[in-house]
């Protein structure tokens, strides 16, 4: 049995930073330590756990299956600790109210639930009316006053001037392909290179529109679409089994399909814009409950580029 005394909080923080960034140098910069400190901490953690947590590659590090499971558990622990330290003695339990919140498909699946859970831990008396709407429906609902806040892919919106907004994260878009795919071997790929392979197109959250926009803007090309799907798991399965490639954001990246097929990602050489996740609301006074949640999202989210969880 592994003794907890052999694992330090610093080791877990260094491990999580490396897992989130995919690059030891970036993790070191984020935590203001040397890269060798991060490397040593991870090696010691792997030795203690008797498990290999990372695969070392030319473009960085990716989690093994065991490392990914460990990361998911550790992330919850670190988040809970951060929440406990943030406001140990306060009137958080006294905050009451109801928040009418809408979010689109991708953000409901990959961004919002964990943040809502953390907020509920701090403020258990706050209730949510949560709606699953597309971006246009969210903007219309805000105009009509039927919701208080909307969470959208802001980079798809043309109506920023009509609402107050805050960019919560910018999630880099990269090429996804099955492990061993030839486009992965060179460490990066151009849109012209990607154009030579079958492309799996996600259709939710205006995926086709945004894909066409940056392909045309960056290279004057269009992908060779072999299959369109609204299912992220279907897309991962097709990618993992080698039926095509895609370009998607790091926020939704997972290194395994449901069948356990490995998926890797590498940067795109052409200027592909990141996916911007934003909070939008109408100008005007809002009650304390809504303002507290709004500030929590802004403070908790990282407005820098989000790297994949590997």
The CATH class of 4-86 is mainly alpha
Using DSSP's 3-state secondary structure scheme, residue 201 falls into strand
Residue 307 scores a pLDDT above 70: no
- Look at residue 156 in the predicted model and tell me its pLDDT: 82
Longest dimension (CA), the chain: 59
Give percent of the chain above pLDDT 90.
Answer: 48
Distance CA 136, CA 103 (A): 11
DSSP states of 152-166? EEGGG-S-GGGSEEE
DSSP state of 189: B
CATH number of 173-266: 3.40.190.10
Judge residue 160's burial from the number of C-beta atoms within 10 Å of its C-beta, 0-12 exposed, 13-18 middle, 19 or more buried.
Answer: exposed
pLDDT at 283 over 90: no
Q: What is the pLDDT of residue 100?
A: 96
The residues, any chain, with a CB within 8 Å of residue 183's CB and separated by 6 or more, are 175, 177, 189, 193, 194, 197, 245, 266
Q: CATH code for 92-170+275-306? A: 3.40.190.10
Query: Quick one: pLDDT at residue 18?
Result: 87
Is 173-266 the same fold as 4-86?
Answer: no
Contacts of 159 (CB under 8 A, 6+ apart): 139
pLDDT digits over 91-121, tens only?
555 789 999 999 999 999 999 998 998 899 8
**Contact (Cβ atoms closer than 8 angstroms) between residue 272 and residue 266:** no
Q: What confidence score (pLDDT) does residue 93 get?
A: 58
Q: Would you place residue 4 in the very low, low, confident or very high pLDDT band (cuts 50, 70, 90)?
A: low
Report the alpha-carbon distance of residue 8 to residue 13 in Å, rounded.
9
Cα–Cα distance for residue pair 221/44, rounded to 1 Å: 47
Q: Is residue 36 scored above 60 in pLDDT?
A: yes
Is pTM beyond 0.85? Reply is no
Strand segments, DSSP code E, in the chain are 54-57, 60-63, 97-103, 126-132, 149-153, 164-171, 173-178, 199-202, 225-229, 246-249, 263-266, 275-281, 305-306
pLDDT over 50 (residue 136): yes
Burial class (CB in 10 A: 0-12, 13-18, 19+), 85: exposed
Per-residue pLDDT of 143-199, as tens digits, reads 999 999 999 998 887 665 678 889 998 888 999 999 999 999 888 899 999 999 999
Q: Which residue has the higher pLDDT, 308 or 237?
A: 237
Indicate whether 295 pLDDT > 50.
Answer: yes
Residue 59 predicted with pLDDT over 50: yes
- Classify each residue of 179-189 as buried b or exposed e, where b means 16 or more C-beta atoms within 10 Å of its C-beta: eebebbeeeeb
| Crossing angle for the helix pair 24-31 and 35-49, to the nearest 10 degrees | 110
- Predicted confidence at residue 190, as pLDDT, reads 94
Other Cβ atoms closer than 10 A to 88: 8
For the chain, the domains span: 4-86, 92-170+275-306, 173-266
What are φ and ψ of residue 52, in 5° steps? -80, 120
Whether 277 has a pLDDT exceeding 50, the answer reads yes
């Amino acid at each position: 049995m592994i003794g907890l005394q052999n694992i330090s909080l610093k080791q877990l923080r260094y491990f999580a930073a490396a897992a989130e960034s995919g690059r030891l140098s970036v993790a070191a910069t984020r935590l203001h330590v040397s890269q060798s400190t991060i490397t040593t901490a991870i090696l010691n953690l792997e030795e203690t756990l008797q498990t290999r947590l990372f695969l070392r590659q030319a473009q960085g590090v990716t989690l093994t299956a065991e490392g990914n499971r460990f990361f998911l558990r550790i992330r919850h622990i670190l988040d809970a600790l951060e929440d406990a330290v943030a406001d140990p003695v306060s009137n958080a339990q006294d905050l009451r109210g109801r928040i009418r919140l809408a979010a689109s498909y991708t953000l409901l699946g990959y961004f919002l639930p964990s943040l809502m859970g953390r907020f509920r831990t701090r403020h258990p008396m706050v209730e949510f009316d949560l709606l699953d709407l597309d971006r246009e429906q969210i903007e219309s609902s805000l105009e009509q006053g039927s919701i208080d806040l909307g969470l959208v892919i802001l980079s798809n919106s043309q109506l920023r001037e009509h609402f107050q907004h805050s960019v919560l994260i910018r999630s880099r878009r990269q090429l996804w392909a099955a492990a061993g795919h030839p486009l992965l071997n060179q460490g990066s790929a151009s849109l012209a290179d990607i154009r030579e392979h079958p492309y799996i197109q996600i259709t939710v959250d205006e995926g086709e529109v945004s894909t066409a926009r940056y392909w045309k803007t960056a290279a004057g090309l269009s992908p060779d679409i072999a299959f369109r799907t609204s299912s992220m798991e279907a897309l991962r399965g097709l990618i993992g089994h080698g039926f095509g490639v895609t370009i998607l954001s790091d926020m939704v990246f997972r290194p395994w399909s449901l069948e356990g097929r490995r998926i890797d990602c590498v940067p795109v050489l052409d200027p592909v814009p990141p996916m911007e996740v934003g909070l939008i609301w109408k100008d005007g006074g809002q009650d304390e409950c809504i303002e507290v949640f709004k500030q929590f999202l802004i403070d908790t989210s990282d407005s820098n580029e989000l790297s994949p969880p590997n």
